[in-house]
Structure 1
């Protein structure tokens, strides 16, 4: 098949065609963020002459390694080069028109990941008539360091500004790939989902997407300026420099990446609450900061005020999210009843609340129960709070788009080394990439193609038609789509556990 050619605003790109899908990889949406562009908002691409090869993934942004216990499950893609603010496009037909578009923002604790992770291959979406785009954005200190030294332009939340630049690129160029710029759904998982809910609340993102999907990440995980200053102080101490932008910029990039990575590993493996405060629970020293400019308010406050109310949202989590954080390091069986009580108490849950979780899981180990508690605190309840805020804002004005809640319930722990329906396990099912060797650690050796087909179809239906197949969420019925071998709509699943967090989370 002839290699497809497309003209975008900055020049011509030549992609590749495989299995009735055209892929265009490594297209820059912003200039390299180095040299004079270092720690600045994304700058325009310099147009190129002739045809640009777009048959291989482009460079990844500077980043460290995952904490050691997660490296096997999340193999990092590292590609050298300066043009790291790039994106990838899969389309069924560049000559088409009006196709729905999915823009995917990757996760990785705002520290790791890229748009070229094999599980994010957009072929299955393109085969089903969706133009799929995956993006890179700046991470850790390069993307989310907050410093009190504005340079006459927005210098906080550079990673969010990168995401906005990618979305603007999509608006201006996606028609050349057959996509409709008025039918863009922005989606992400973990830090990507936190990015999605943050973008949804931001005036700067108005009009850049028509729908949103947030998988296992919601609006609770932003930093106050005080928390962000604390992180900046610890980073500067580790680097041995003053806490100002020019001093940090003068540090060699590889040294800065290592120092930021070391902070993340510390927070995610052995956090000292006296040192880190609330960050010892959220585990995210680098994340969007409520700076008053790029991000005017915490997302929940924005939703309560009606921001993003015209954008339909699919949001949810996996039923056993936190098993990842106990099974991967091999600690789940080391948790005893006193540790369960202390751990749950640290997250604000009372002894009677722990008893509710225990009663609902006869025969479960203390580690199983603590994983369930933390799954709710970190993932499920924040998603519910987003849905509640949007539902209340919608009811107040009798207008606004719907919010659909899901819960992913597959697989059982024995199918994938004890992980179960843990954090990130849904991604290969959503993308139809369960057969990728790099996914095997999460999905197990015999992942269900039927479940993948069913869950992928839910996403396609929402992206294409704005309806995943069950009723929107409201605070009366709390309808939730439970996704496994079947798709079942259930009102207020585990409602007794949900209610325990009222006033706490």
Structure 2
């Protein structure tokens, strides 16, 4: 017996004998965290409590509650957070020993650190300190809830491992271990865990090398779906309330939880579906996350612990399929090849695509022969080896080689001797190395035969143990093992002899490489900022196109950059995963009314039918539909949102060629506020030369709602009368939620009588976006005269039905609110009251209390949209030599942007959008709708390509003729816009005292 002092107290260990006959010290069942009982069930581990006296650590501790892999008996206890330490020496003067930290496998459902499988004798002979841990399994370790306030975001089992690594940092020196030289290694689920620990931000500084045997963080069976409701339902409790669920589950005996989890966890291991218990990407919460991004994204970005890595597989892992998976679960796999289609391909089971994929897999692995379980066993084993293990290990190596600054050593184990313990236990007779067989060379087990000195077993065991120990010692297993290169996957074949080779299973991996390109849908592009990876999707006709989403085009506008002009985006290391939409700007969602997004929102999406840098394609930049302070010294002149657009257009000029786009043929287009924005861009000196054609849909610079005002006084009142630099500093330091409170308090009135709190302002000096009134710029022809396409919807004004009544009623209760601010008429003056009566009389006649009806919609549509758009076309036609194409959208189908229930009299605001973009509301298309979708896309893309939407039939506006295409079920070209109220507004604006004369 031996007693040592560690941070928590004294422990008593015992002495063992290693493979060379030398003594080593064994300390088992050392607690590394508080027992996860009661309120701590399912939660992240808490630090271990110190103890009094001497704790006896001579027998192995409890494993987690689970069913034993071999005996199938229920074993374990919830109080399972313990570890074993084995060391060939206790502290003395001299160099500390490398530490090897072992994580057992068992698909996160079974297994333990017990010496029946993981005896230390072989590794002790290599002078390393060995740590083997227990961690929570199944529901106890991997329950995940949506409600972040409950403190159960998932990954508790992985957080146990992190806690154990922290324990190592604080205690391993008491065992002669070097806390600055820790190698994490594991097999199967333990290998996936080791790789995840490498990728997690929680482990920074806690590990220095990693060995992943027969799995990686990318293996699909590593990840789980949230299964709390299903477990509870299996136990007879139904609720959609996470708080009630967790209260119920905390009070269910552990054995009953285990029985329930066994009932639901069956066929999903077959890689065709997420498992019920494993890793999750955690939702944002107050708790430090183990994993906040997908592992592939972390690898591609290079945001992980860059440490040396050994990773590999056994030649015929798939033989374990016959023993790990019950017959009832694996039998369907033999009969239905669709079950071999990886769920990560996101194809619907039973669909034509799924059946085609299954057929391709069948033909590749089995040829044209009939599937027969007995005759085709080796092919089945190869298929399972690839789909459950090798394929995703291979992809992990391939992608990580692009971003890692440290060496990656890849291996394939082909060695077959009597130390291939798991194959012997399974009674497997087919040739090849079984899943887990590598462990027989690293650990002495209860089943290890007597090893004869000089035998192949003896020689092989020493070689493999030395490779692992050398790697733990110095990060290089042996000088003869070449690391992987970016374009060449070097690997060591570990057989009776060790040989370096290139590209494992080349035909099989080439099949999955091609499959990944086509079905996993990934494509790589290099731009000025670095490499990025995108996805491949299908268009309306079933043709492929490439999608790159969430690409940063400017620095995040955070801290001191809040409200200011954007700064250029910085380059990144590794590969940027442009596979998901980036953050939208923090705002209230148009439909759900929930607050969504982030301040870090300066990103863009690029979609292209082909990636090539010859035969470049026209580019279309869509802008969807701002703070200004009067104190110029604080550097917030306004228009930052428009300057973001300019920055994005500069990005396009520099980078779009890499996506097959022609930077010399860029069309900007937008709807509503986006329509006004593209008009402002056309008029701004800042954007000269960045685009070549413009499409304005239901919005322009002459619409009254497009203009903003300086609102620093209102903001100052909100923050207690602070002004100037003091106000700016406060604004830049409050949470973004407070900024939204300010915005809500100031409000967004719909009435045209006032400029909005947020919109375009006239700014001056260096870096000015709009130094002059837009109407003056047009009249004086101080802008880019480019081909222009402009339009509006027949019933624009019905959009008011989407607004709260508080924004609409002021226009009905006081008609002075309907006088456009452009006219410069003082509210409350005789002239204002007289004009208000005139507007009311024009639209409502003698109605005493006008209601919200089609007359009201017409007034709003004319005032807010139609007249400004009509005036824009007229003004531009007088000064521009470039063609102008005018349209009115009258077409009504089920393709509508706003789901308004009232009876319509034609298309409303934004109803052209669903003909250009597929949305979440897009229904199955009728033949008429499909034809018009194609027609709209053809008009818009013809304009982008040639500057003319439809040659010979759609005539452009000129100084004397305002040709307009009425887009209805039968599109008709008219010589002029027939809209009876336009002369009324012409007369009102012609008498404007402000000089803003639109006529």
Match of 2:149, SS state, is: coil
Q: Distance in 2 between matches of 1:482 and 1:366?
A: 25
Measured against aligned partners, the alpha-carbon deviations of 1:475-504 in whole angstroms (never above 9, x if no partner) come to 422111111212211111321211111115
**TM-score in terms of structure 2 length:** 0.44
2:27 is aligned with 1:16: no
The equivalent of 1:297 in structure 2 is: 293
What is the RMSD computed on CA atoms of the aligned residues?
Answer: 3.2
The equivalent of 2:487 in structure 1 is: 476
Within-5 A mapping of 1:128-207: 128-151=126-149, 153=151, 155-207=153-205
Measured against aligned partners, the alpha-carbon deviations of 1:152-202 in whole angstroms (never above 9, x if no partner) come to 646421101101000000011001100000100001111111111111111
2:423 is aligned with 1:423: no
Q: Distance in 1 between matches of 2:378 and 2:433?
A: 12
Aligned length: 468
Within-5 A mapping of 1:320-331: 320-326=316-322
2:222 is aligned with 1:228: no
Match of 2:263, SS state, is: helix
Seen in structure 2, the aligned counterparts of structure 1 residues 117 and 237 have a Cα distance that, compared at 3 Å, is farther
Task: Please state how far the C-alpha of 1:261 moved relative to its aligned partner.
Answer: 2.1
Q: Distance in 1 between matches of 2:358 and 2:460?
A: 36
Measured against aligned partners, the alpha-carbon deviations of 1:316-370 in whole angstroms (never above 9, x if no partner) come to 11111111112667979x99998486565578866565555458xxxx9422102
Q: Distance in 1 between matches of 2:487 and 2:51?
A: 55
The equivalent of 1:258 in structure 2 is: 259
The equivalent of 2:35 in structure 1 is: 32
The equivalent of 2:407 in structure 1 is: 402
2:475 is aligned with 1:466: yes
Q: Distance in 1 between matches of 2:185 and 2:73?
A: 21
Match of 1:12, SS state, is: strand
Instruction: Please point out which of 258, 272, 279 is paired with 1:281.
Output: 272
Task: Please state how far the C-alpha of 1:126 moved relative to its aligned partner.
Answer: 1.9
Instruction: Please point out which of 76, 80, 83 is paired with 1:87.
Output: 83
Match of 1:322, SS state, is: helix
Which structure has more relative contact order (CA 8 Å, sep 6+)? It is 1
Q: Distance in 2 between matches of 1:173 and 1:328?
A: 37
Task: Please state how far the C-alpha of 1:76 moved relative to its aligned partner.
Answer: 7.2
The equivalent of 1:249 in structure 2 is: 250
The equivalent of 1:443 in structure 2 is: none
The equivalent of 1:389 in structure 2 is: 399
Mapped contact 2:271–2:342 kept (Cα < 8 A): no
Mapped contact 1:223–1:289 kept (Cα < 8 A): no
Mapped contact 1:122–1:133 kept (Cα < 8 A): no
Mapped contact 2:64–2:137 kept (Cα < 8 A): yes
The equivalent of 1:379 in structure 2 is: 389
Seen in structure 2, the aligned counterparts of structure 1 residues 410 and 283 have a Cα distance that, compared at 3 Å, is farther
Task: Please state how far the C-alpha of 1:406 moved relative to its aligned partner.
Answer: 0.9
Q: Distance in 1 between matches of 2:216 and 2:127?
A: 28
Task: Please state how far the C-alpha of 1:143 moved relative to its aligned partner.
Answer: 0.5
Match of 1:188, SS state, is: strand
Q: Distance in 2 between matches of 1:202 and 1:345?
A: 29
Q: Distance in 1 between matches of 2:231 and 2:332?
A: 35
Instruction: Please point out which of 109, 112, 125 is paired with 1:111.
Output: 109
The equivalent of 2:503 in structure 1 is: 492
Measured against aligned partners, the alpha-carbon deviations of 1:15-65 in whole angstroms (never above 9, x if no partner) come to 001221100000000011112322221112221112111111011221234
Match of 2:379, SS state, is: helix
Measured against aligned partners, the alpha-carbon deviations of 1:194-241 in whole angstroms (never above 9, x if no partner) come to 11111111111111100001111111246899x623x22321210122
What are the ranges of 5 or more consecutive residues in structure 2 without an aligned counterpart?
18-22, 284-288, 344-353, 368-373, 450-454, 521-999
Measured against aligned partners, the alpha-carbon deviations of 1:249-289 in whole angstroms (never above 9, x if no partner) come to 12222111111122224545xxxxxxxxxx76257321011
Match of 2:168, SS state, is: helix
What are the ranges of 5 or more consecutive residues in structure 1 without an aligned counterpart?
269-278, 395-399, 441-445
Mapped contact 1:221–1:282 kept (Cα < 8 A): no
Mapped contact 1:58–1:79 kept (Cα < 8 A): no
Of 92-101 and 5-14, more deviation after overlay is shown by 92-101
**TM-score in terms of structure 1 length:** 0.84
Of 173-182 and 94-103, more deviation after overlay is shown by 94-103
Mapped contact 1:95–1:178 kept (Cα < 8 A): yes
Instruction: Please point out which of 57, 60, 69 is paired with 2:60.
Output: 57
The equivalent of 2:377 in structure 1 is: 367
The equivalent of 2:233 in structure 1 is: 237
Of 289-298 and 99-108, more deviation after overlay is shown by 289-298
Mapped contact 2:220–2:271 kept (Cα < 8 A): no
The equivalent of 2:800 in structure 1 is: none
Mapped contact 1:224–1:290 kept (Cα < 8 A): no
The equivalent of 1:273 in structure 2 is: none
Seen in structure 2, the aligned counterparts of structure 1 residues 11 and 132 have a Cα distance that, compared at 3 Å, is same
Of 24-33 and 188-197, more deviation after overlay is shown by 188-197
